[in-house]
A and B are shown apart, each in its own frame.
Chain A
Amino acid sequence: MRLTLNKTRRNMALLLSVALIGAVLGFPTAATAADPTCTTAAAVTTCTGETSDTAKYEVRVPDDFNGTLLLWSHGYTYVAKIPAQIPLLGGAGNDLRATIAPGAPDSMVTANALLNQGYALAGSGFAVPGWNAESAVKTNVELLGIVKKKFPKIKRTVAWGSSLGGTITQRLAETNPKLIDAALPVMAFNNLDKVTGSNGGYGTDAVWLFKMFFDPTIKGFGYTAGPAGFGEAAVDFGKVLAAVVAIQGGLTKSGADTWPATATLVPAAVKAALPARSALLMVGLLSGMPMRSTSFDGVTGTPIDTSSIAAASASTSAATGFSLAVQPALAVAENMVNIAGFATFARFDLESQVGNKNFADNQKTNYAAKLSEEEAATYNVALSGESGIAGLLQLVAGFQAAAPLKGDADTLAKFKKLDTMTGQINVPTIAFNNVEETVEFQPMMSWMIEKANAQHAAEVAAAKAKKKKAPAKKFAAFWGQPLDEYTVFNADLTPKQQAFNAGTGHVQFTQTQWMDMVRLGDMAARLKKLPSAAILQLTRESDPNWYPAEDFDADTFESIGS
């Protein structure tokens, strides 16, 4: 593994300043980039090249071009390749291949579907991996200049992207609104401090609580600089995985509960009285994690044995017990693994960007207040009743008193500066998120909605004061959701691991949903305003993977105590 992080950071600082200048002056900085290399085959012209910051890009324009360019921004890629021996994530990272649509370049299903509908597609791999929002905006600005010069038939541009790509899309719309006609930020990552900064937060709480309950040898925070730190993150990820597997193994096979041997901070008396699954669920609830995952719907019970009345009675009890007591913990286990990848490797990246010190602090975090009355009631069974809840919260308080996270103040201040997204809506914008998204969890979308609503209210008030017509809303939100039931079982009654269920995991949408997004974005770009409320609502009601209303009652940073 080769890491040139210091050089990368210096380059990034330079790129950031160039990007800012470009944004302020409002013109593309494509002058130094070479012209793209283009070929035409199968009625599609494909151009490739590099922007001046060495980001590789690709553009595809169908012969039957409909005039709309879709500029895609891909999501976060780890700053280095993860060693092959690390389960699940081995080989991932430092992926700077040009990406023109969701799934591309590995899967061209969505890209080809859009090309068939006459859209032109463009996207880059960006110049640097890791948290790169501002540098990526600069790359996109330059790329748009190149593409529009090469293809003057472009009449309108829709920017879209997911995860960190959603952040980049939103930042592009905030800083360069004249370059695009509509924006589709999908799961835009925002509020770095609230997510993992000065008051615990999702990314901090999930790892810290997991560490305290299940393996205190997990480092988690304050990684060493350079390759050694990346290695520490890899080891941490492996430890999370091992502990999860230890708990999950017993649960999926027999409903039996196993505390991992690494759970050395939990007293033996607690382990005897409370199952590990309850502690794992508490980690999920206190951190704000979704309670459904890609394989676990939180509803479906184990299959009923109808061979006899007695067997049916016993298996019905087991089925209800699985739904209420076991499923939520299994969902947290699966989501924990998903989050751990980001919470270790991405934390290493973020700490590297601000001086290789820990910025996360939970000294003042009120963990008991993070468990709402409703959550305590809803998951009472899985948390082992009122006494289980009280015992687990007492344990957390003990952990916090003994070994709180103390963030370095200067580092925290630098960290906050990485968070540049303002939520300002400058172009017609439709934001998307999933209700069970594990990384860009609900409060991030709630924050965007609140900001957009406040902005619109202020604009309406200003117009009223000037006796002008109230401006139309420029922002709409869509929530994706999983189907009600999707947990499936093997012949031996163990639940099947699944790779995809729309509305869960990280950035999981159906092909229909991706196409819906583009259709609405294209409409907004053509109309120069949002599609009508009726059209938006019709779309929401057209597919069971969309929540059928705009006003989904989502968690907010305030409601979860962040």
Chain B
Amino acid sequence: MIRALKKRILAGVSLLAVTGLVVSGIPAQGAATPGVTKDTITLGMSSAQSGAASPGYNKVGPAMRAYFNYINEKGGVYGRKIELKLEDDKYVPTNAVNKVNKLILRDKVFALVGNLGTATHTAALKKTPIIKQSVPDLFVNTGYSGFANPKKYPTTFMYLPSYIMEAKIMAKYIKDKFPDKKVGILYQDDDFGKDGLAGFKAGGLTFVAGGTQKYASLSQATVGLTAQMTALKSSGAEVIILFGVTSATAVAMRTAAGLGYGTTWGPQFIMGSVGADPTTLLTLAGATTPALQAATLRSLTGALSLSFLPAATDTEDEYVKKFIEINTTYNKGVPWDNNVLVGMNQALLIVQALRAAGENPTRASLISALKSKGGTFASAGYSKLESANNVGYTGYWVGRYNSTGVIAPVDGGKPVVYTTDSSTANGDVAVSTFTRPAMPADGVPTNK
């Protein structure tokens, strides 16, 4: 009898102990905003920090962190320091799901920022609670137009102009400047490429017979692009669009050099913005042999590309100037380039969004602030950020690379920025009248 009573007491104690543990270990539902304490705001990012797709893009996250550290030293956002948890998804969709789940469910971040890749982020949106928990999903690093869809992805905001916009602007430029030339294209056989083709079609650009070549994403790394580049050469295309990621551009250019580019073959290359960072292109080539690096530079010289930010080499630009200064101190040892510029500019936007969300930010107030005020934020972008509609930047300028891999506006002087939207119903493109806000004093936003 006594033994039975003792057992009952022990069972009760055991239950109480577990309950006590729970009470002290888990905050009550809704008691606090995830990722926000009195001292910190924790953000999360999933990106390719290693693997074949990582070169160049793996500099974006650390650049964001460097800018946050700069802001933290200046007092943070309303006294809170910004912490960035950066996860390496290796550009593998299954892994992106793992990493985003970890960031939301275990690290309990306040918001996601700068996640990279169309396939990776599509998988994350499908298989993680981004939507269910209304996690702000800011400035995804892809131009896939499908992410600017508030009905389907209410908390997701783009950063890059869409690939459709880029293709429409490119189509207009080619039709204007190369009206009688035969045009060919190399594109990625996925949503990235589909978006681009839709934009070219809307812009009324047609391709020469045999001049539409594609490759399965990342097959360039193992299979190469010899068949496609040979076919483009055979098609007689005089203007060739390279509409792929940087590693594909690098392989295409090396292959072109091997096919006589610059000596017996001289098409005009035009590269999409996400695959055109010269530092990365040369680094990728140099990782193999100096001869290949030289071949890449030969192909790059005279090539055209589109950009939505200033050239990273434009040290007269006030944003570029300040970011280089921050990079030198807070991102030591990392060479300045376009990827670092992209990351720092994103971080500048994020700090303004956090400030606009108020002194006691919630996930809802952050999204609301971005929708209502995002278009007014200071940034290096040459076109308006259409965050009211979850869209990113809306314009591009066209530049040409010189023999040292430096890009400058194709018409000399200041860049002419073209603007459009993601509609595939028309190819309307106009010269932008957008006036870029000035860089906040000392690079530290004070907006509300």
Q: Are both chains from one complex? A: yes
Given known A318-B222, A378-B123, contact A310–B289 (CB-CB < 8 A): yes
**A378–B222 contact, CB under 8 A?**
no
**A313–B129 contact, CB under 8 A?**
no
Query: In this assembly, does B214 line the interface, its C-beta being within 8 Å of a C-beta of chain A?
Result: yes
Query: In this assembly, does A532 line the interface, its C-beta being within 8 Å of a C-beta of chain B?
Result: yes
**A325–B52 contact, CB under 8 A?**
no
Contact check: which of A381, A485, A538 meets B219 at CB < 8 Å?
Answer: A381
A328-386 CB contacts (< 8 Å) to partner B: 328, 372-374, 377-381, 384-386
Provide the residues of chain A in CB contact with B132, threshold 8 Å.
551, 553
Contact check: which of A297, A298, A309, A321 meets B52 at CB < 8 Å?
Answer: A321
A25-62 CB contacts (< 8 Å) to partner B: none
**B26–A537 contact, CB under 8 A?**
yes
Residue of B nearest to A537 (CB): B26
**A538–B218 contact, CB under 8 A?**
no
**Complex Cα spacing A298 to B105, Å:** 21
**B106–A541 contact, CB under 8 A?**
yes
**Complex Cα spacing A324 to B289, Å:** 26
Residue of A nearest to B95 (CB): A299
Query: In this assembly, does A301 line the interface, its C-beta being within 8 Å of a C-beta of chain B?
Result: yes
Q: Which of A372, A379, A380, A386 has the most CB of B within 10 A?
A: A380
Provide the residues of chain A in CB contact with B255, threshold 8 Å.
none
Provide the residues of chain A in CB contact with B325, threshold 8 Å.
none
**A299–B90 contact, CB under 8 A?**
yes
**A66–B7 contact, CB under 8 A?**
yes
Query: In this assembly, does A316 line the interface, its C-beta being within 8 Å of a C-beta of chain B?
Result: yes
Query: In this assembly, does B92 line the interface, its C-beta being within 8 Å of a C-beta of chain A?
Result: yes
Provide the residues of chain B in CB contact with A320, threshold 8 Å.
51-53, 90-92, 218, 221
**B216–A388 contact, CB under 8 A?**
yes
Least CB distance, B287 to chain A, in whole angstroms: 5
Our count of residue pairs bridging A and B at CB distance below 8 angstroms stands at: 148
Query: In this assembly, does A291 line the interface, its C-beta being within 8 Å of a C-beta of chain B?
Result: yes
**Complex Cα spacing A299 to B88, Å:** 11
Least CB distance, B197 to chain A, in whole angstroms: 10
**A380–B191 contact, CB under 8 A?**
yes
Provide the residues of chain A in CB contact with B125, threshold 8 Å.
374
What does the 1/0 interface line of B72-85 toward A look like (CB < 8 Å)? 00000000000000
Least CB distance, B33 to chain A, in whole angstroms: 17
Query: In this assembly, does B217 line the interface, its C-beta being within 8 Å of a C-beta of chain A?
Result: yes
**A319–B92 contact, CB under 8 A?**
no
Residue of A nearest to B247 (CB): A317
**Complex Cα spacing A329 to B267, Å:** 39
Provide the residues of chain B in CB contact with A534, threshold 8 Å.
19, 22-23, 26
Least CB distance, A13 to chain B, in whole angstroms: 44
Least CB distance, B146 to chain A, in whole angstroms: 8
User: Interface residues of A toward B: which range?
Assistant: 35 or more
Query: In this assembly, does A473 line the interface, its C-beta being within 8 Å of a C-beta of chain B?
Result: no
**B51–A526 contact, CB under 8 A?**
no
**A321–B218 contact, CB under 8 A?**
yes
Query: In this assembly, does B184 line the interface, its C-beta being within 8 Å of a C-beta of chain A?
Result: no
**Complex Cα spacing A298 to B287, Å:** 27
Least CB distance, A209 to chain B, in whole angstroms: 22
**A377–B129 contact, CB under 8 A?**
no
**B93–A313 contact, CB under 8 A?**
no
Contact check: which of B7, B94, B191, B221 meets A377 at CB < 8 Å?
Answer: B191
Contact check: which of B127, B219, B288 meets A310 at CB < 8 Å?
Answer: B288
**A553–B128 contact, CB under 8 A?**
yes
**B129–A553 contact, CB under 8 A?**
yes
Residue of B nearest to A118 (CB): B7
What does the 1/0 interface line of B118-158 toward A look like (CB < 8 Å)? 11001101111100100000000000000000000000000
Least CB distance, B129 to chain A, in whole angstroms: 7
**B221–A292 contact, CB under 8 A?**
no
Provide the residues of chain B in CB contact with A319, threshold 8 Å.
51-52
What does the 1/0 interface line of B21-63 toward A look like (CB < 8 Å)? 1110110010000000000000000000011110000000000
Least CB distance, A542 to chain B, in whole angstroms: 10
**B105–A385 contact, CB under 8 A?**
no
Query: In this assembly, does A16 line the interface, its C-beta being within 8 Å of a C-beta of chain B?
Result: no
* Interface of chain A, main secondary structure: helix
Provide the residues of chain A in CB contact with B53, threshold 8 Å.
320
Query: In this assembly, does A515 line the interface, its C-beta being within 8 Å of a C-beta of chain B?
Result: no
What does the 1/0 interface line of B235-265 toward A look like (CB < 8 Å)? 0000000000000000000000000000000
**Complex Cα spacing A291 to B222, Å:** 23
Query: In this assembly, does B11 line the interface, its C-beta being within 8 Å of a C-beta of chain A?
Result: yes
B199-226 CB contacts (< 8 Å) to partner A: 214-219, 221-222
**Complex Cα spacing A525 to B95, Å:** 39
Provide the residues of chain A in CB contact with B99, threshold 8 Å.
484
**Complex Cα spacing A317 to B129, Å:** 31
**Complex Cα spacing A223 to B92, Å:** 42
**B119–A377 contact, CB under 8 A?**
yes
Provide the residues of chain A in CB contact with B175, threshold 8 Å.
none
Given known A319-B52, A378-B93, contact A548–B106 (CB-CB < 8 A): yes
Given known A321-B218, A388-B216, contact A484–B19 (CB-CB < 8 A): no
What does the 1/0 interface line of A512-524 toward B look like (CB < 8 Å)? 0000000000010
Contact check: which of B127, B129, B216 meets A551 at CB < 8 Å?
Answer: B129
Residue of B nearest to A549 (CB): B105
**Complex Cα spacing A380 to B118, Å:** 11
Least CB distance, A338 to chain B, in whole angstroms: 19
**Complex Cα spacing A527 to B11, Å:** 11
Query: In this assembly, does B189 line the interface, its C-beta being within 8 Å of a C-beta of chain A?
Result: yes
Query: In this assembly, does B430 line the interface, its C-beta being within 8 Å of a C-beta of chain A?
Result: no
What does the 1/0 interface line of A293-320 toward B look like (CB < 8 Å)? 0000111010000000110010011111
**A381–B218 contact, CB under 8 A?**
yes
**Complex Cα spacing A185 to B391, Å:** 46
Query: In this assembly, does A3 line the interface, its C-beta being within 8 Å of a C-beta of chain B?
Result: no
Query: In this assembly, does B193 line the interface, its C-beta being within 8 Å of a C-beta of chain A?
Result: yes
**Complex Cα spacing A384 to B214, Å:** 11
What does the 1/0 interface line of A374-414 toward B look like (CB < 8 Å)? 10011111001111100000000000000000000000000
Least CB distance, A433 to chain B, in whole angstroms: 16
Query: In this assembly, does A535 line the interface, its C-beta being within 8 Å of a C-beta of chain B?
Result: yes
Least CB distance, B27 to chain A, in whole angstroms: 10
**A324–B22 contact, CB under 8 A?**
no
Query: In this assembly, does A323 line the interface, its C-beta being within 8 Å of a C-beta of chain B?
Result: yes
**Complex Cα spacing A448 to B433, Å:** 57
Residue of B nearest to A435 (CB): B127
**Complex Cα spacing A239 to B118, Å:** 38
**A291–B26 contact, CB under 8 A?**
no
Provide the residues of chain B in CB contact with A318, threshold 8 Å.
222
Residue of A nearest to B98 (CB): A484
Query: In this assembly, does B182 line the interface, its C-beta being within 8 Å of a C-beta of chain A?
Result: no
A503-562 CB contacts (< 8 Å) to partner B: 523, 526-527, 532-535, 537-538, 541, 547-549, 551, 553
**B123–A377 contact, CB under 8 A?**
yes
Q: Which of A318, A320, A321 has the most CB of B within 10 A?
A: A320
Provide the residues of chain A in CB contact with B11, threshold 8 Å.
66, 526
Query: In this assembly, does B15 line the interface, its C-beta being within 8 Å of a C-beta of chain A?
Result: yes
Provide the residues of chain B in CB contact with A526, threshold 8 Å.
11, 15
Provide the residues of chain A in CB contact with B123, threshold 8 Å.
374, 377-378
**Complex Cα spacing A380 to B18, Å:** 46
Query: In this assembly, does B194 line the interface, its C-beta being within 8 Å of a C-beta of chain A?
Result: yes
**A317–B214 contact, CB under 8 A?**
no
Provide the residues of chain B in CB contact with A66, threshold 8 Å.
7, 11
**Complex Cα spacing A534 to B11, Å:** 19
Provide the residues of chain A in CB contact with B317, threshold 8 Å.
none
Question: Can you list 6 A-B contacts with CB-CB less than 8 angstroms, sorted by A residue number?
Answer: A323-B51, A323-B92, A323-B95, A523-B15, A526-B11, A535-B18
10 residue pairs, one from A and one from B, having the closest CB atoms? A385-B189, A317-B221, A320-B52, A298-B94, A385-B216, A374-B126, A534-B22, A377-B122, A378-B93, A484-B98
> What 20 additional pairs, Cβ within 8 angstroms, besides A309-B287, A320-B221, A549-B129?
A298-B92, A298-B94, A298-B95, A299-B92, A323-B95, A324-B92, A374-B123, A374-B126, A377-B93, A378-B94, A378-B126, A380-B189, A380-B190, A381-B218, A386-B190, A386-B194, A484-B102, A527-B15, A538-B22, A538-B25
